[in-house]
Chains A and B, each alone.
Chain A
Amino acid sequence: MRTFVVVSVALALTAALVAQERPMQLDDTKVPKGRPAPRMANGKPDLSGYWKGTTQTRPGGNIGKDLPGWKLPLTPAGEAALKHNLTATVDPEAVCIIGGTPRHNASGLPFEVLQGNNKITFMYWYSYFRLIPFTPGLKHSDDPDPSFFGEEIGRWEGDTLVIDSIGFKEEKVWIDENANPHSDALHVVERWTRPDYNHIHVETLIEDAKFYTKPFTYARTWALGEPDEQIQEYSCSENNVDAAHLGFGPGPIRKDGTRGYDNPAPLPPPVQKK
């Protein structure tokens, strides 16, 4: 009887908690499919929405997700850069530095897109955003200022928004959550589509001849959040106590390609109510 009462109370508490919090990731098998994507007045697909990763994206946070064994084709210089990231740098995002492209596309966090007629903006948790023009005829600069998102130029190819980016920084950047590197020679081509109302998809080509022996690809699909969900205020440097306690690199990487421990110790048993 005592067990029954405790379990009932706990279940009620759980239901209340779950009802109040919406997950940051969705199980895509439960997301409706087939409803046509919305379109702008000019006929182009409207990519706007609050987009959440799905539990089917594995391993999360790993830019080598689509490669056999998640093995990135690092050059010797790339291997050295990875070693440097693992042994001499803390996660740039943990000290409030912008994750940039393509790291944000490998993140577990949702993002929000707002689309206009000549520009589109991607907004991220941590109060970062990128604003990409797609006015016809745009070309890259001869010598763009290095930045975390690079110099981004958009164009439409049918119903696909292509974002071509060069001009990246080389220092204080990780290409993904596992501390893999990229250099200032990085060239990223993202091909964004909205296959149906509830999904957005990207096919990414990543080229970096300094750190990678050959180009590789990264593809991912996100699912639409609820209409009233949106990016919230998030001041990364308000009280960043962590900075003084972080070790170099992301810590252990699990056998499944994600960051974290394979065999964590269990927490102490829950406290029994009197």
Chain B
Amino acid sequence: MPTRIVLTVILLCVAAGGRAVAHHSFAAEFDATKAIRVTGTLVKVEWTNPHTYFYVDAKDDKGDVVRWACESGAPGALSRRGFKRSLLKLGDTLIVDGYRAKNGANLMDARRVTLPDGQVMVGASAGDGGPQ
């Protein structure tokens, strides 16, 4: 079985099993037709309610550095699934997969976060009606 498929299935299982605290509908803020990957340097973390945010500086197509706000579930929900504040270290390179804000801002719903050591964290607020 292709590794990619197995990993995808496993991620889906984790996302479906865990429910973060949905503060609002995914679809009110994010566009599920615009899946994106942002790879960049972690520059700021806000481990807050109603959502956690972390900020990543990444180069755009022109080579300019753009700051992305990455929205995840509430701290309690992330913590219970093993996504701890201590895993996010300023200066680390993160790979963030998710969906862009509908209003075109550099804001994304961070549904999958790959840490420098390869650990994959589920950042989604799964109770928000977003893609599973």
- Is B97 within 8 A of A23, CB to CB? no
Q: Contacts A246-B29, A261-B32, A267-B97 given: A94-B49 contact, CB under 8 Å?
A: no
- Is A261 within 8 A of B14, CB to CB? no
Q: Contacts A242-B50, A260-B32 given: A247-B102 contact, CB under 8 Å?
A: yes
- Is B82 within 8 A of A234, CB to CB? no
- Is B68 in the interface zone, CB < 8 Å from A? no
- Is A238 within 8 A of B27, CB to CB? no
- Is B28 within 8 A of A260, CB to CB? no
Q: Contacts A3-B3, A245-B107, A269-B4 given: A21-B27 contact, CB under 8 Å?
A: no
8 A Cβ contacts from A1-54 to B: 2-3, 6-7, 10-11, 13-14, 16-18, 20-25
Per-residue CB contact flags for chain B residues 91-132 toward chain A (1 = under 8 Å, else 0) read: 000010111011101010001101000111010001101110
User: Of the 9-residue stretches A73-81, A154-162, A250-258, which lies at the interface with chain B?
Assistant: A250-258
- Is A242 within 8 A of B24, CB to CB? yes
Most chain-B CB neighbours within 10 Å: which of A13, A17, A250? Answer: A17
Q: Contacts A239-B53, A245-B105 given: A270-B23 contact, CB under 8 Å?
A: no
With the chains together, A259 CA to B24 CA distance in Å?
A: 10
- Is A131 in the interface zone, CB < 8 Å from B? no
Most chain-B CB neighbours within 10 Å: which of A10, A11, A245, A266? Answer: A245
The interface residues of chain A lying within 8 Å CB-to-CB of B51 are: 239, 241-242
- Is B14 within 8 A of A247, CB to CB? no
A136 to chain B, nearest CB (A): 37
The interface residues of chain B lying within 8 Å CB-to-CB of A267 are: 35, 37, 97-98, 111-112, 131
CB-nearest residue of chain A to B105: A245
Residue of B14, B32, B34, B95 near A18 (CB, 8 A) is: B14
- Is A64 in the interface zone, CB < 8 Å from B? no
Most chain-A CB neighbours within 10 Å: which of B23, B36, B37? Answer: B23
CB-nearest residue of chain A to B122: A17
Residue of B10, B46, B49 near A234 (CB, 8 A) is: B49
- Is A23 within 8 A of B21, CB to CB? no
With the chains together, A240 CA to B33 CA distance in Å?
A: 24
The interface residues of chain A lying within 8 Å CB-to-CB of B107 are: 241, 245
Residue of A13, A245, A251 near B25 (CB, 8 A) is: A251
With the chains together, A96 CA to B122 CA distance in Å?
A: 25
The interface residues of chain A lying within 8 Å CB-to-CB of B118 are: 271, 273-274
The interface residues of chain B lying within 8 Å CB-to-CB of A234 are: 21, 49-50, 74, 76
CB-nearest residue of chain B to A239: B48
With the chains together, A6 CA to B5 CA distance in Å?
A: 12
The interface residues of chain B lying within 8 Å CB-to-CB of A274 are: 118
- Is B65 in the interface zone, CB < 8 Å from A? no
- Is A3 within 8 A of B6, CB to CB? yes
8 A Cβ contacts from B70-100 to A: 71, 74, 76-77, 80-82, 95, 97-99
The interface residues of chain A lying within 8 Å CB-to-CB of B126 are: 24
- Is B7 within 8 A of A242, CB to CB? no
- Is B58 in the interface zone, CB < 8 Å from A? no
Q: Contacts A10-B6, A18-B14, A241-B51 given: A265-B32 contact, CB under 8 Å?
A: yes
With the chains together, A18 CA to B15 CA distance in Å?
A: 9
- Is B29 within 8 A of A236, CB to CB? no
Known: A23-B17, A90-B24, A126-B50. 8 other contacts (CB 8 A): A17-B122, A18-B17, A61-B129, A96-B50, A241-B53, A250-B27, A259-B26, A260-B26
